[in-house]
Structure 1
Amino acid sequence: MHSDNFRAALFMLLAMAGFVVNDTFVKIASTDIPPAQIMAIRGVAASLFLAVLAWKLGALGPVRLALSPRLLLRTAADILATLSYITALGQMPIANASAIFQALPLVVTLGAALFLGEPVGWRRWSAIIVGFIGVMIIVRPGTEGFTVYSVAVLASVAFSAVRDLSTRRMDRTVPSIFIALVTAIAVGLFGWLLVPFSGGWQPVSASILVSLTVAAAAIAVGYIFIVQAMRTGDMGFVAPFRYSILLYALVIGYLLFGDLPSPLTLIGSAIVVASGLYTLYRERLRGVVKLPPTPQVH
């Protein structure tokens, strides 16, 4: 078990690195083309990567499965989460966006209590409240640093929570890779549909095309390793390693974009992470520690 946990932790670290690499190249591409076009181009590459993976694993399902109400709800929520996150990512430091997004486990716990009737004790309610205080410290509403893009990341967190909560209610026999493939195709198609309404098609340089291909490959790599992490180790041990994404974002944001988070942002991030870790700890004690069955496709 110790060996399994070590390998699972390594897989989770690699998965989070994959997601940050995706965010990084999406942010680079966003300087030249709008979010809808990013979703369209990257969606093609991501769909191809995931289709090959699903085919290799024998996880391709019938089309009617993709039209089930809960999968349609999940897909719609993921489309909106992706659009809002990519829109924000092009206009704010990658570390700030990642830090706000770490509130997702808290929002999922809150949503599960309010809408799914899952029991949440006073300790986890306290952790949720403290975590949201941390988010407010990061976004600082009413100050000069607060922008509509901060709201866009918060919206992405809310849509992602809907996605994860709807996933909890889906048939467990539906392969996770098939769900991710359906989502990737839908996100890409939505991007293509949105292009005419977002300024039309912009010229795409070879460097941008490479950036989005790398982003798509990084999402696929992240997906592979997060599934491996969930299947290999004890979730109570592995789940906290998901917060390594924030450290990656801090380092990459500084090295590539020169973004140095303010002390308040770092304090808020620490509060959010600590609250999330405590929530995971309490769920581990109750024996219900879970990660979202599929990663965000930002």
Structure 2
Amino acid sequence: MLLAAMAFGAGNTLIRHATLSLHPFQVAFFRNLFSLLFMLSWISASTGFGALRTGRLRLYVTRALTGLCAMMTWFWGVANMPLADATALSFTTPLFTTMGAALLLGEVVRLRRWVAVVVGFAGVLIILRPGVDSLSLAALAVLTSCVFAALSALQVRTLARSETSTAMVTYMVLLLTPMSLVPALFVWRWPDLGTLGWLVLLGGVLTGAHVAMTRSFQLAEASAVMPYDYAKLPFTALLAYLLYGEVMDAWGWVGAGVIAASTFYIAHREARAARG
């Protein structure tokens, strides 16, 4: 999970770098394309394509649609707001997932977890401070991305009952590649060789991040590995400072801490509930 967190942080920095010369929608398409190539190469050399057999293609498609919305809004948001602030706001995804589990899947969410959700969203208000400055479109895009990411996560929960992690990651990029091409065509411009190299690196880094994260959940309970996910905030903040001179203010760190504490508590309570 620590490796995944660092890879996601590096991936967000690569997104920012690539969007300096290409539209975020194009960057999203190339990220999916090169991730797909990496995954197909890895499958052919290891498990074989038999690992992709499934009877749940319809759920994969709906998961890809929500994933597409999450990715497009995330890439646009990262291109237009400070990297560390976007990363801090991304920690709200488990909060939206908890709400979705109760409202859409009928899961029992007791009072303590609802309180943690409310506390987490208080952390969002600390970061954004809407009374200080007007709420930016980029911040709204990131929060919208978190909503769609939560919907995608709920579908992954259902898929994980019968599908392998290899199949889930591969079908995601297999379906997202043609889907993300459609919006990319409306803003298309051919990347130069240098940018193309960064896009290849982006696809490889984010593919590795997803594989590492999936593997961590196979090796240990979510409550045990989840704290390491928050390492991506200081790592991203360091890269943002070194590369772009962006500095996250004190209130941003306080808000991020509040969100992280609430989501960690939710993961802890879910793990205890799963153990019965």
Query: TM-score band (shorter)?
Result: over 0.9
* 1:26 CA displacement: 1.0
Match of 1:270 in 2: 257
2:215 alignment partner in structure 1? 228
The range that moved more, 14-23 or 137-146, is 137-146
Aligned counterpart, 1:96: 85
Question: Does residue 11 of structure 2 align to residue 22 of structure 1?
Answer: yes
Distance in 2 between the 1:257 and 1:122 partners?
A: 42
Letter in 1 for 2:267: L
Match of 1:211 in 2: 198
TM-score normalized by the length of structure 2: 0.92
Kindly tell me: are residues 191 and 72 of structure 1, through their superposed partners in 2, closer, same or farther at Cα, counting changes over 3 Å? Answer: closer
Question: 2:178 aligns to what?
Answer: 189
| Residues 1:139 and 1:156: Cα distance change in structure 2 (over 3 Å) | same
Unaligned runs of 5+ in 2: none
Give the letter aligned to residue 61 of structure 2: L
What is the Cα deviation at residue 71 of structure 1? Answer: 1.3
Q: CA deviation at 1:185?
A: 2.6
> RMSD between aligned alpha carbons?
2.1
The CA distance in 2 between the partners of 1:275 and 1:59, in whole Å, is 41
Q: How far apart in 1 are the matches of 2:162 and 2:195?
A: 38
Shift of 1:288: 5.8
Q: 1:67/1:119 Cα in 2 relative to 1: closer, same or farther (>3 Å)?
A: closer
Equivalent residue number for residue 127 of structure 2: 138
How far apart are residue 64 of structure 1 and its match?
A: 8.2
Identity of aligned pairs, percent? 27
SS at match of 1:90: helix
For the residue of structure 1 that corresponds to 2:106, the secondary structure is coil
Residues 112 and 59 (structure 1 numbering): CA distance in 2 closer, same or farther, change over 3 Å?
Answer: farther
Question: 1:91–1:149: 8 Å Cα contact kept in structure 2?
Answer: yes
Residue number in structure 1 paired with 2:59? 70
Name stretches of at least 5 consecutive residues in structure 1 with no aligned partner: 1-11, 290-298
Deviates more, 1:119-128 or 1:144-153: 144-153
Q: Distance in 1 between matches of 2:68 and 2:56?
A: 15
One-letter code of the match for 1:36?
A: F
Summarize the Cα distance change of 1:196–1:284 in structure 2 as closer, same or farther, 3 Å threshold: closer
Report if aligned partners of 2:84, 2:233 keep a CA contact under 8 Å in 1. Answer: yes
Out of 25, 35, 51, which is 1:46 matched to?
Answer: 35
Distance 1:76 1:111 in 2: 17
Pick the aligned partner of 1:115 from 99, 104, 109.
Answer: 104
Q: Distance in 2 between matches of 1:38 and 1:139?
A: 26
What letter corresponds to residue 142 of structure 2 in structure 1? Answer: V
Query: What is the alpha-carbon distance in structure 1 between the residues aligned to residue 5 and residue 41 of structure 2?
Result: 22
Is the contact between residue 15 and residue 221 of structure 1 (CA under 8 Å) also seen in structure 2? yes
Shift of 1:33: 0.6
The residue type paired with residue 134 of structure 1 is G
